[in-house]
Amino acid sequence: MALWGGRFKEKASVQFKKFNDSLPVDYRMAVQDIVGSIAWAGALNQVGVLSDDEVARLESALLELKASVEENPKQILLSDAEDIHSWVEIQLIEKTGDLGKKLHTGRSRNDQVATDLKLWCKETGGDLLFSLVNLQQALMNLAERESNTVLPGYTHLQRAQPVTFGHWCLAYVEMFNRDIGRLKDSLYRLDVSPLGSGALAGTAYPIDRDVLANNLGFRAATLNSLDAVSDRDHVIELLATASISMMHLSRFAEDLIFYNSGEAGFVEMSDLVSSGSSLMPQKKNPDACELIRGKAGRVFGSLTGMLATMKALALAYNKDMQEDKEGLFDALDTWQECMEMAVLVADGLKVNATRTLAAAQQGYANATELADYLVGKDIPFREAHHIVGEVVLAAIDKGCPLEDLTLTQLRAYSDTIEQDVYQHLSIESTLDKREALGGTSRAQVQKTIDDIQKGKSEILNEQVVGAPGKQQVKVALKQVKQRLNAQRAAAMSVRRARMSDVDKIFQQVEFWSEKGEILPRTRDNIIHDIQNFVVAEIDGEVVGCASLYIYETGLAEIRSIVVDEQSHHLGQGKALVQYLLEFAHQMELQRIIVLTYIPDYFSELGFSVIEKSSLADNIIEDSEPSPYKDPADEVAMAYIVDRSGQ
């Protein structure tokens, strides 16, 4: 059944139908389409189009359909429906009769598909963030494992200066950290709801689109209907982010392919990520890395294709935009798969420290150290550079490293050279001198590892231009911690709550309130305040929740922080709080308070103890004493939202 047949005298040809239908691709958005439909039913109820009973019947049917789809999504492909919107509507009509035909009132497939795709991107973005964090951690683990291993550094694929293998790992940690930032930025910008924009001019019904957006878990509603239905910037941004990250992954793979070669012999890939030759039994090929390198081009192609599709489209919606999903789905799937494969590669990598050290000692990698030694003897660097070039040429002629030249031979090029030169030419000396921030000395590499693990990386990059004073460093450190905390929250799949989460939230709150850990809340109260809740998910299941109650323009309280017992100690509670603190920053709140019996927990998150008596009477009145706790043990704490980075 098509949704648009009334205008036509003849049926579309089979050939055109196959060409036009998008169900084989957009079936992946079935759950998002159903969730959006549930929210739209509630919106129609608010303006009197649907009765309470009709909404209840529609919601029940849609939730039943959602459960069926989650259990077996491939069932959708057995249908000849045009697209996922048609399929959901057909299934709904089969379950509810003519009532199902009322749901599309005031809604267009244009705002429907835009909403579905953004919901899908939000969910998938959380998975991608988690994979990026896992990849960073795998490289951090490898960096720690090989922090003392000497490795020749290269420029122009020529041996240049020695570094440590840990330093090489941390270069990629930095790259993937930038990818996290780009992905977060993309997810923030796409977090606005197009639903209610109609085909292009907006809906004719007085829908409260802000409430509708909040019910769907968006931070806001779009402000222009023409743009809302024709915007695919979020697709392009995600593809661009994926492309840059795949470029980083490809460089990582290329380095390891070279290091794994027989000519280098620096590393050996795990058998888990290698393959053999059908002809040559001795071969062990780095196929995982080669495929990562090869798949980068596939992702780049999706970005180029989408840019070409959008470059000359007049407002508003055009069917060209149907081409947005296939490339996006494939690119993000490929990116995710490559990140997971890179983790396997890093986890199983064996480094031949003897071979890497021998290579670092060859190629005159300590030539710069000799030049620096001469500079220390008051010889201008350009002159020192020339002298060392002559020394290297002599060493090449003799077939020996610089440190094997005798003092007499060295002094033939500069009589300022003394016996102490040899201590400067060792690999250890070469490494240990690189102690400045970002350098390759073992101490600096270990410090960087420790700082990243503590959430302190990139401190200097956050400072105001100019000489870095202590206060600037302190402010920068706080900003970095806030940003990394938000990254971790996003990676934990924390999101805004939806109406479909009400029962799970109520179940969690009721369980912990009966234990006296939090104050009880009615189901109606949760429904009324659902826009103030966030939830944490593991594998798509809601395992925790928290809410932000705003008292006035600058003040809010975090309430109802609970996590399922089986999910304790996984970081979900902290992720919920960190998400709300980031949200408070975006809302331009000034102070966040909590009333708690576990102050140490909140101290780790940046809260400080305050006098309970300093709180307004209405705040104290809202906090009823728990019958299971001593009221004297309840502590008031506050978090000052830093807005200096805005």
Helix (H) or strand (E) holding 582: helix 572-586
Residue 129 has φ and ψ, to the nearest 5°, of -60, -45
Cα gap 374→127, rounded to integer Å: 53
Cα gap 124→532, rounded to integer Å: 23
Output the six-digit token pair for 367. Answer: 């030539």
Which residues, in sequence order, are bridge partners of residue 190? none
Given 13, 261, 277, 614, the catalytic residue: 277
Residue 156 among the catalytic residues? yes
CA 32 from centre of chain:
20
Q: Which residues contact 76 (CB under 8 A, 6 or more apart)?
A: 23, 27, 30, 69, 84, 87
* Preceding omega of 221 cis (within 30 degrees of 0): no
CA nearest 584: which of 293, 576, 600, 223? 576
**On the CB side of 325, how many CA atoms lie within 13 Å of its CA?**
21
- Could you give the 3-state DSSP secondary structure of residue 182? helix
Which residues, in sequence order, are bridge partners of residue 331? none
Which residues, in sequence order, are bridge partners of residue 268? 350
The radius of gyration of the chain from alpha carbons, rounded to an integer in Å, stands at 30
Helix (H) or strand (E) holding 339: helix 324-347
CA 537 from centre of chain:
15
Output the six-digit token pair for 542. Answer: 């809601």
Cα gap 538→534, rounded to integer Å: 14
- Could you give the 3-state DSSP secondary structure of residue 435? coil
DSSP label of 624: P
Residue 225 among the catalytic residues? no
DSSP 495-548: EE--GGGHHHHHHHHHHHHHTTSS----HHHHHHTGGGEEEEEETTEEEEEEEE
Residue type, 29: M
Residue 565 has φ and ψ, to the nearest 5°, of -55, -40
Helix (H) or strand (E) holding 475: helix 470-491
Cα gap 22→248, rounded to integer Å: 32
Output the six-digit token pair for 331. Answer: 């690119």
Residue 220 near residue 65, CB atoms below 8 Å: no
SS3 string, 383-431, reads HHHHHHHHHHHHHHHHCCCHHHCCHHHHHCCCCCCCCCHHHHCCHHHHH
Report the catalytic residues.
156, 277
